[in-house]
Structure 1
Amino acid sequence: MPDSHQGDSAQKAFLGLISRRFIASAYDLVALIVCWLAAYWLRFNLSLPDEYLRAGLFSLAILVPVYVPLFWLSGLYRGIWRYASLMDLRRIIVSVGLGGLVTAVAVFMTGMPGVPRSVLVLHPILLILAMGGGRFLYRAWKDRCLYGHLALSGESVLILGAGEVGERLIRELQRSPQWRVAGLLDNDPAKHGREVHGVKIRGDIASMVHWAKELEVGHVIVAMPSVSAAVRRGAMEQAVQAGLKVLTVPALDDLLSGRVSLSQIRQVELEDILGREPVQLDDAGLSRLIAERTILVTGAGGSIGSELARQIARFAPRQLVLFEVSEFALYQIEQEFRRTFPGLDVVCVVGDVKDEARLQQVFAAYRPALVFHAAAYKHVPLMESANAWEAVRNNVLGTWRVAMAARQAGVEKMVLISTDKAVNPTNVMGTTKRMAERVVQSLEQAGGGTQFIVVRFGNVLGSNGSVIPTFREQIARGGPVTVTHPDIIRYFMLIPEAAQLVLQAGLMGNGGEIFVLDMGEPVKIVDLARDLIRLSGFTEEEIPIEFTGLRPGEKLYEELLADNEMTLPTPHAKLRVAKAESAPEEAWIGDLARWLETPPADVAGIKAGLARFVPEYRPQ
């Protein structure tokens, strides 16, 4: 029965298609004949002599055999009149123009009497108007029948941006029962007062609050994917602060490439408000660095390590080795890469960066040319007391052993992912990362072929342990949202941006540098909490903010550079290089090795040891 039903459906669809094509071709044939006779009628000032009428009818014997095959060959009947577009008009113009040329040649070659030259010029013009006009009138009629009643239904919305994306967005929303476009806002004064598909451009974006009240609008769609991140962020912040629900459209590159459509309107996230200018990468240089080579990433299951792996995969390495201690995290990234990069040779290795034998085995087996070391313990309060020695072992000893394995295997470059918390550290986690920096600087000074590079940056939105997922969970539970201090500030960047700049630093580094990423302006955590509450559709009365006090080891602000350091510009606008203090002496390394072999008896002993190896450490 299902097969019979499917067969009937297919047969009906086929017959429907044939019927629609027959009707369309019949319309064009009638238009062809009527326009030919109308051209005669116009030529003789609306009074057609009998002899010319007979000549016009007789000449149809040439006209029809010329035009009808051209109509079919040009693909006029593959389209659907309901969706008539400029492409259909182009096909009509080409086929009619070619038909008019062939007809004129045939008339002159055969010497057919009674065909004035003016008719040969008028006829194609009339025919294009009849065929194109018929299709677009049909589309307009269907649109009115299907969507005309929607003009007064749906939720009112303002669209920010009257450019190409805004125009396409209006077309789609006018067919939607969910939305009613009340107006457009655009910063170009030349557009003010004009209309796009019947929707008036009311004014500039600064007048958003006024027009939202005037037009009783509760939603705003930001349709400006090509403007700078600062302009887009300002518009979103203004809408959020006005209590409007903010939506946005995909990036312009994604729209133009066809990866997404305008129907994928989504709610604005905090990442959009804090969005930064796209990173400009030296793609050619990165391709030379990565393509057809083996790359190893430690901590590949974490937020930074996994994004590094994704960015590396874009440059087609010969082999990508993902080293991760968590079996589940490694399984997840393996499944993702099977879907997104099916042709890439990905090797998933379970291992601990503190395991010297395992590291040597892996480096000997795969011989990576580049190593990106992202494995680390990063959570400040968790590592401050009971887990302090594990932070030392993982962040310091793990880095040391990865670096030694890289040097013994002849790795060209190793890039260490560091943190702003390594600057003037006040907590165990930041101090261990500063020690890791000094370890690779010491190995760089000792030589051995491998170039050791450090990249230091602040918080990344959405990373494991980030404050944003915690805020979202608290809002979902109905609040309160907890912030440690009203004045606490942090630098933020997006995970893809951080990973891309790490790759760029790896390309530019020659060994021994500490690269500092441009983190932009610091952001108050309480402002993030307020924006996230508003974006979730609540007010601070509904979801209150509570201040809980600074946690162990936490600072009010983070520096990206130590006080005794200075930065120098690099050819990349978002990367600076820190001229740090000299690398530690050989005795420092030997002393550190002995300390790592004998764990202190208590947390106080651990912190005293950290202060000995990192003099700028000031525990709270």
Structure 2
Amino acid sequence: MIRRIDLIPSKLKFLITVSYDLISLSIAFFLSYLLRLGGDIDSFGVPELLVFVTTAVFTIACFYLTDVYSSVTRFFNAKSFVKITAIVALSTVVCYVSAQIYEAFLPRSIPFSFLVLAALFIAGARALVGFIVGKQWFEQREPVVIFGAGTTGRELISTLSLGSKYQVLAIIDQKTVYVGRSLFGVKVYGLNNIEQLIKKYGQFKVLIAVSEVNPERMKEIVNVFEPYALELLTVPSMYDIVSGKRKIDELREVSVDELLGREPVEPIPELLNANVEGKVVAVSGAGGSIGKELCRQIIRQRPEKLILIEVSEAFLYEINQELIEYKKEHELETPVIPLIGNVQNGMLMTRIFDNHKVQTIYHAAAYKHVPMVENNVIAGITNNVLGTYEIAQAAVFCEVETFVLISTDKAVRPTNVMGATKRMAELVLQGLAKRDHQTRFVMVRFGNVLGSSGSVVPLFKKQIKKGGPITVTHPDIIRYFMTIPEAAQLVIQAGAMGKGGDVFVLDMGAPVKIVDLAIKMTHLMGLTVKDEENPNGDIEIRFSGLRPGEKLYEELLIEDNAEVTAHKRIMTANEISLPWPEVNQLLDKVITAMKDENIAEIRQILIDAPLGYAPLGLEPAKHLNDKKEQLARLSEVPQN
């Protein structure tokens, strides 16, 4: 709501303020005479009036020249009080000197009375108005508690006190040296006082004022507040603040990757540059979640040229514009070529690779959503398998140096068509790798990435903002998660390690229970979960049941024989592959069945093929139990 005082024109405010000051000076001057003379003011005449006019004009002029009238009354502080008092003190000197000049009657006590009364009427009144207006203003601001009493916290309090959005209720810090003290009039509490503050003030936002904190530390901080269902915001990085990109009060939501607290590993420059720097690089599926991030990472390594291949014009335009802006900002001359094309068109891919002399390909174009592919089997195979075959054949024909396939953990003992198609795409490249040509084929396998299209994180956030319910397929379902930037960076480095036909697996860390993720996301947004224990909660969680082909547990290795590499988060999997004639025969069977549009036969071919594909209900019970025990030990997720 807009305050009525803000609707008053500036010129009118100025006239009102000047008028008030003149009245205050008049009262202070004449009241000083009354107090000194006891009501006998017969001696007050023209000289004394001239003294007053001189003093009043001097005072108002000083107020104007020192910007007293340009300051906002509701932000009146001690510094403003001292300024006004100093001007009034100087006016008192002018009052005494002018009395000597005009030979006016001015007892010595009157200037001192005038000083006290004028300062009280002018500076004191401003302080009172500032307090009254400020009190009303505070009530319109959002209540917040700041975590961190250090330098960043103090700067944030100082900045917020001048703003109109947040009212700081308290400060929380874990260092006992701060607890019990006050900063800018705000008391500092310990971590054990959170419940006490909630009882006193109700729900409030927590502003995390700890800059340049590592992921593990941020995870610890988030875990402290998350159970209380308090909305968390954090200050920008100190780099952004110092560089002027962001202000300290430009707060942002705590992201889910900060909730997971995964410490990033510095990339190995030699691996990051090997297939990119000074080379012509192509990215298929450049407009997808992984494709976009690959493009962002690649452009930083200064390739000779970057080719964007995308079937969606809208997605291609978006990433192309982003890269153009990045190039301008960093003064890069790297040509970026956006091309609309389908990887299933082998002739088009061959023409692109030949015309641009492509040296490295990152193949990220695929249909990845399990239920969609389950209901569109032919489309899934056409894109994920035959599309990979066509673009790989084009790479071989054009003597592309390196071809990197973005694979998935769902390719391991798949229970759905999508996973089966990705495993089959791996077999195609493994088979091609054994033939005589110049192209190195590398496959990189990883799990879910945070924030990608169709992932649970943006879905949950959308559902929470709508007021729920949050839909989770099963109470026991767990998944591996990794941030998109980390995944793309590791893909580029893994691609540089391959010798041909290699399958690399990214270390995804411990798996996450999806229902726990939903609860924590709800709490981070300042809301509570509605269940039997808390029937008055804000957001309900509903279990919708596993979707067709969906696993409870994902895995990254077919066999438990992974080996370490030069990078601590990249492993190589020694897995069974097929010779090209057998792969080619399998492709012929699938293509024949697709021509007849015989979905049942296609599914049976995938089951019979050496893919490890076992639709739900056909997977051996013993394997399920063994895997459940293994993952329970790994992630400390309780078994049911």
1:597 to 581, 585, 591: 591
Gaps of at least 5 residues in structure 1 are 1-81, 83-141
Q: Tell me by how many angstroms 1:199 deviates.
A: 4.2
- 2:317 counterpart SS class: helix
Distance 1:150 1:513, change over 3 A: farther
The Cα shift of 1:224 comes to 2.6
CA contact (8 A) 2:427 2:583 kept: no
- Which residue does the alignment assign to 2:579? 585
Contact 2:205 2:526 in 1 (8 A): no
User: CA offsets per residue over residues 40-64 of structure 1, 9 Å max, x none?
Assistant: xxxxxxxxxxxxxxxxxxxxxxxxx
User: Does residue 299 of structure 1 match 2:285?
Assistant: yes
What residue is the counterpart of 2:351 in the other structure? Answer: 361
Q: Which residue of 2 aligns with 1:547?
A: 543
Q: Which residue of 2 aligns with 1:166?
A: 153
Partner of 2:560: 565
Q: CA deviation at 1:155?
A: 3.7
Task: Report the alpha carbon displacement of residue 147 of structure 1 after superposing the two structures with TM.
Answer: 9.5
Contact 1:220–1:245 (CA<8 Å) still a contact in 2?
A: yes
Partner of 1:377: 367
My pick for the range that moved more, 403-412 or 473-482, is 473-482
How many angstroms apart in 2 are the aligned matches of 1:579 and 1:168? 54
Contact 1:296 / 1:322 at 8 angstroms: preserved in 2?
Answer: yes
Partner of 2:607: 611
1:181-580 alignment, distance < 5 Å: 181-194=168-181, 196-203=183-190, 205=191, 207-213=193-199, 218-283=204-269, 285-342=271-328, 343=332, 344-385=334-375, 387-539=376-528, 540=530, 541-562=537-558, 564-580=559-575
CA distance change for structure 1 residues 288 and 435 in 2, over 3 Å: closer, same or farther?
closer
Over the matched positions of the two proteins, sequence identity in percent amounts to: 43
- 2:371 is paired with a residue of what secondary structure? coil
What amino acid maps onto 1:534 in structure 2? H
Distance in 1, Cα, partners of 2:284 & 2:128: 59
Deviations 1:449-483 (A, max 9, x none): 22211111111122122123333333344432221
Q: Secondary structure at the match of 1:341?
A: helix
Q: Is the 8 A contact 2:440 2:500 kept in 1?
A: yes
TM-score (norm 1): 0.71
User: Tell me, what secondary structure is at the counterpart of 1:521?
Assistant: coil
Moved more, 411-420 or 225-234: 225-234
Partner of 1:598: helix, strand, or coil? helix
Structure 1 residues 215-250: Cα deviation after superposition (integer angstroms, max 9, x where no partner): 656121112343332331232243232021211122
CA distance in 1, matches of 2:193, 2:610: 54
Matched-pair contact (CA < 8 Å) for 1:515–1:578: yes
Judge conservation of contact 1:295–1:321 (CA < 8 Å) in 2: yes
Within 2, Cα distance between the matches of 1:357 and 1:287? 30
1:148 CA displacement: 11
**Equivalent position SS for 1:383:** helix
Q: Distance in 2 between matches of 1:215 and 1:231?
A: 27
- Aligned counterpart, 2:66: none
Q: Contact conserved, 1:300 with 1:323, CA < 8 A, in 2? A: yes
Alpha-carbon distance, 1:392 to partner? 1.1
Whether the 8 Å CA contact 2:271–2:497 is kept in 1: the answer is: no
1:294/1:370 contact within 8 Å kept: yes
**Does the aligned pair in 1 maintain the 2:275–2:402 contact within 8 Å?**
no
What CA distance in whole angstroms lies between the structure 2 residues aligned with 1:299 and 1:412?
A: 19
Tell me, yes or no, if the aligned pair for 1:150 and 1:174 is still in contact at 8 Å.
Answer: no
Q: Using the alignment, how far apart are the partners of 1:368 and 1:556 within structure 2?
A: 40
SS at match of 2:404: strand
Tell which deviates more after alignment, 389-398 or 280-289: 280-289
Do the aligned partners of residues 194 and 614 (structure 1) sit closer, same or farther apart at CA in structure 2, a change above 3 Å counting?
farther
Would you say the 8 A contact 1:480–1:543 is kept in 2?
yes
Counterpart secondary structure, 2:557: coil
Offset, 1:493: 1.6
Residue 534 of structure 1 deviates from its aligned partner by 3.4
Q: 1:536 to 1:186 in 2, by over 3 A?
A: closer
- Cα distance, 1:531 vs. partner? 2.8
Contact 2:271 2:494 in 1 (8 A): no
* Separation of aligned partners in 2, 1:478 and 1:211: 26
Compared with structure 1, are the counterparts of its residues 340 and 167 closer, same or farther at alpha carbon in structure 2 (3 Å cutoff)?
same
Deviations 1:565-589 (A, max 9, x none): 32222232322222222x2123312
- AA aligned to 2:337 is V
Contact 2:272 2:489 in 1 (8 A): no
Q: Post-superposition shift, 1:372?
A: 0.5
Q: Distance in 1 between matches of 2:130 and 2:582?
A: 78
Match of 1:599, SS?
helix
The answer for unaligned runs of 5 or more in structure 2 is: 1-70, 72-125, 531-536, 617-640
**Cα distance, 1:435 vs structure 2:** 1.0
Q: Which amino acid aligns with 1:290?
A: V
TM-score normalised by the chain length of structure 2: 0.69
Query: Is this contact kept in 2: 1:423–1:560, CA < 8 A?
Result: yes
Measure, in 1, the Cα distance between the counterparts of 2:492 and 2:132. 53
Tell me, in whole angstroms, the C-alpha distance in 2 between the residues paired with 1:546 and 1:410.
Answer: 52
SS at match of 2:146: strand
